[in-house]
Amino acid sequence: MVARFGAMLTAMVVVAVTTAGCGASPGHPAPAAGIPAAPAGPGGADPALTGTDVDAWLDGLLPAALDRTGIAGATVAVVHDGTIVTTRGYGYADTGNGGTGATPVDPDRHLFRMGSVSKLVTATAVLQLVQDGKLDLDADVETYLDFDLPRSYEPAVTLRHLLTHTAGFEERIAGLIGTEGSTVDLRKALVTDPPEQIYEPGTVPAYSNYSNALAGYIVERVSGTRFEEYVQRNVLDRAGMPSSTFEQPLPAALRDRMSKGYDTSSAPAAPFEIIGTPPPGAMSAPATDMARFMLAQLGEPVGFAPLLDRPTRELMQRPALDATSLGTLADGPRMTLGFFEEDRNGHRILGHGGDTTYFHSHLQIYPDDRAGIFLSLNSNGSGGLDSHELREAVVHGFADRYFPARAGQPSTGVDAATTATHAQLAAGTYESSRAMRSNFLTVAGLVGRTTVSVADGDRLRFEPGPLSDSPALYEEVAPWVWQEVGGQRTIAMRATDDRVEAISFDSAFTLLPVEPARASAIAVPVLALSTVVLLLTVLAWPVGAIVRRRLGGAPRERAGRTARILSRVAVAGTLLAFAGWVLSIGTIMSLRDVPGPALRGIQALQLVGLLGVLPAGVRLADDVRRHVGWRRIVGSGLILLALVGAGWFAVEFRLLAPSISY
């Protein structure tokens, strides 16, 4: 559901987009540092996917990993050939830090929050109504809505766009996650300050909780049943998932079965999280139920009725957009109608990750191999990427152990001259398509940018690598398709004659070129230098007054006094505004709301600073006219430049935008 926004803006770098992101597939093809790789079986033979072997593998991996990372508990399920191979619990559902006894995780009993894995249930509900002829994947979704959708482009938004994260909406944070006592009103959440549409539908994969929430609301509208009730009866109950629910708070019968959520295993338990828009992330479920959901998605007999007929299930599980709208991005990983393509070792893998503030989950199915794995963690861990790295160590380790690489055709590659040209076009600075562009949170784009440079003449160096915190090297294996050197991650590019305009690095995530004016090389120095000058100016005021008083200097002349006072007010207003933005953005990224009046007050201070450019200019002109001395002229000039720089930054990064919705 979220990719752990926190610690100012830095959490948006990786787990965002994980992330989580919040739905991104695991990033590294190799096991995370300190986590053992999946060994081969005796004598080098591939291990058999049996309960005994899977249990032994998981027992050798997870307990030590939980202890090292400070993650309290984990729950796992594995399915194969129509059966549940194993369900396992590790660590604690309740650490006992609140004075109660510690409770080990029971995979059959304890519910974990699914985060964005919930989107798979929502997508299944949509496909059920498509199967019944009540919904059309390619019809304008406004046909099904009772409010106007925010649109900036002529092409209609369709359910196909909503389920593939290509409807073009910017990100929204407000109301994403609350605590018990928060009210949930799906329609109100969708119509109140909706996000702007910043991309043409179907063209830019940009992960969007809002899109999936819209799809869930359409299920509610068309079925005439509250979303939570519809999926309970038609998805969860039908698949034999009696302990799973989207209800918030939990039904009374399930409340004492809910695992606690933790920052780390030594921290106190967090309150139950309320997801403001349930369809994208509100599900709570035990591992056993998730095993049944995987079996249902694999078309195995489970529950009392199939979730989807075979043609509809296959429709849901194949790529949903092609080159008609995506261009050459279609040659890389794509979204199906709900799943991410997460292929590994030549095996087709469909999956989805999910995060709340404290729970982190991932589900993968192997449609051609009739297998699947699910993992959920109930803590963030001591390091910023602990939960992300542990999840990918498990799902990649599962693939490498039980579904190793098969012999395949060697890549034909691209001729050296062409790939060198493509590499030159790709070099530059990029930011995530999952962004906020219409309001003050545009400034978040300064964090988590990716630099792409040419290495060895025809390779590309990504810093950091996609869904990673370390650099990665890529080589072109087909026109505009690049593969990680020594790894399996694949990216695709879409280019014009003079530049790369998009890099798809995961099914619903894209890197877009940073506008030159917003490049870090320009914006950050301007902001830093302007702030330093203004801070030194404020510090100089009392120092100058004290020096004049002690040395018996003459008081400042009255000429130009009004301009000096107004420019001082502008300096103070700008600094107070910047301090307010830092505090507000930090609060928002920690998923806590900032009152609208407070944000308007900060904008008022910012506007005072911007308007102060005029009196600061008058002051400089007056100082030059009266020949007051080079020191004062230089000082006045620096103040003017600092106010201009701060004002430019405020305008360029929309700190003064009319909309303060976030």
Q: What is the pLDDT of residues 272-323, one digit of tens each?
A: 999 999 999 999 999 999 999 999 999 999 999 999 999 999 999 999 999 9
pLDDT of residue 36: 44
- Reduced to 3 DSSP states, what percent helix, strand and coil does the chain have, rounded to the nearest 5? 40, 15, 45
Question: Does the structure show a pLDDT above 90 at 406?
Answer: no
Residue 486 CA to residue 657 CA, distance in Å, equals: 45
Mean pLDDT along residues 365-389:
96
Residue 153 DSSP label: S
pLDDT of res. 555: 55
User: If you search the block for the tokens 């009210």, which residue do you land on?
Assistant: 183
Q: How confident is the model at residue 9 (pLDDT cuts 50, 70, 90)?
A: very low
Q: Whole-model pTM?
A: 0.89
Q: What Cα–Cα distance (Å) separates residue 553 from each residue in 50, 177, 562, 622?
A: 90, 59, 21, 21
CATH code for residues 10-402: 3.40.710.10
Distance CA 367, CA 593 (A): 42
For the residues 34-51, what does the mean pLDDT come to?
63
CB-CB contact of 280 with 189 (8 Å): no
Is residue 248 predicted with pLDDT exceeding 70?
Answer: yes
3-state secondary structure of 620: helix
Query: Do residues 66 and 36 touch, judged by C-beta distance below 8 A?
Result: no
Instruction: Outline where DSSP puts E strands in 199-289.
Output: 273-275, 284-285
Three-state DSSP at 468 gives coil
| Residue 261 DSSP one-character state | B
The Cβ of residue 585 has, within 10 Å, a number of other Cβ atoms equal to 18
CA distance 140 to 167: 11
Give the mean model confidence (pLDDT) for residues 39-50. 67
Q: How much is the pLDDT for 10? A: 35
CB of 324 closer than 8 Å to CB of 334:
no
| 540 vs 584: which has the higher pLDDT | 584
Render pLDDT for 82-102 as a digit per residue (tens, 0 to 9). Answer: 999 999 999 999 999 867 789
Per-residue pLDDT, 408: 61
Q: Which residue has the higher pLDDT, 557 or 505?
A: 505
Once rounded to an integer, what is the mean pLDDT over residues 215-232?
A: 98
d(C-alpha 546, C-alpha 552), whole Å: 10
Q: Where are the alpha helices (DSSP H) in 11-109?
A: 51-69
| Dihedral (CA of 288, 294, 296, 298) sign | negative
pLDDT at residue 45, rounded to an integer: 64
Tokens of residue 448, six digits: 């988590």
pLDDT at 660: 86
The amino acid present at 448, given as its one-letter code, is G
Q: What is the 3-state secondary structure (H, E, C) of 604-619?
A: HHHHHHHHCHHHHHHH
Mean pLDDT in residue range 121-138:
98
Mean per-residue pLDDT for 232-260?
Answer: 97
Grade residue 44 by pLDDT with cuts at 50, 70 and 90: low
- Binning pLDDT at 50, 70 and 90, where does residue 626 land? confident
What number of residues does the chain have? 662
Contact 454, 424 (CB under 8 A): yes
Range name among 331-335, 398-402, 614-618 with the lowest pLDDT average: 614-618
Nearest to 29 by CA among 468, 583, 531: 468
Please give the structure tokens belonging to residue 216. Answer: 């869930």
Those residues with Cβ within 8 angstroms of residue 601's Cβ, 6 or more apart along the chain or in another chain: 580
Mean pLDDT of the chain: 89
- 446-502 tens-digit pLDDT: 888 999 999 988 899 999 998 888 999 999 999 999 999 999 999 999 999 889 999
Mean pLDDT calculated for residue range 578-599: 90
**Are 148 and 295 spatial neighbours (Cβ–Cβ below 8 Å)?**
no
Instruction: Say whether the peptide bond before residue 201 is cis (omega within 30 degrees of 0).
Output: no
Please give the torsion angle defined by the CA atoms of residues 259, 260, 265 and 271, in that order, rounded to the nearest 10 degrees: 160
- Give residue 343's pLDDT: 96
The mean pLDDT of 364-373, rounded to a whole number, is: 98
Structure tokens at 309: 């007929």
Mean per-residue pLDDT, 343-361? 96
Partners of 178 in the β-ladder: 274
Distance CA 118, CA 472 (A): 31
Helix axes 630-652, 561-589, angle to 10 degrees: 40
Instruction: Say what the pLDDT of residue 474 is.
Output: 96
| CA 238 – CA 258 distance, rounded (Å) | 22
| Measured CA distances, 351 to 227, 294, 339, 519, 581 (Å) | 23, 10, 5, 34, 37
**pLDDT score, position 558:** 61
Q: Which amino acid is at 390?
A: L
User: Which two tokens mark 157?
Assistant: 């938004």
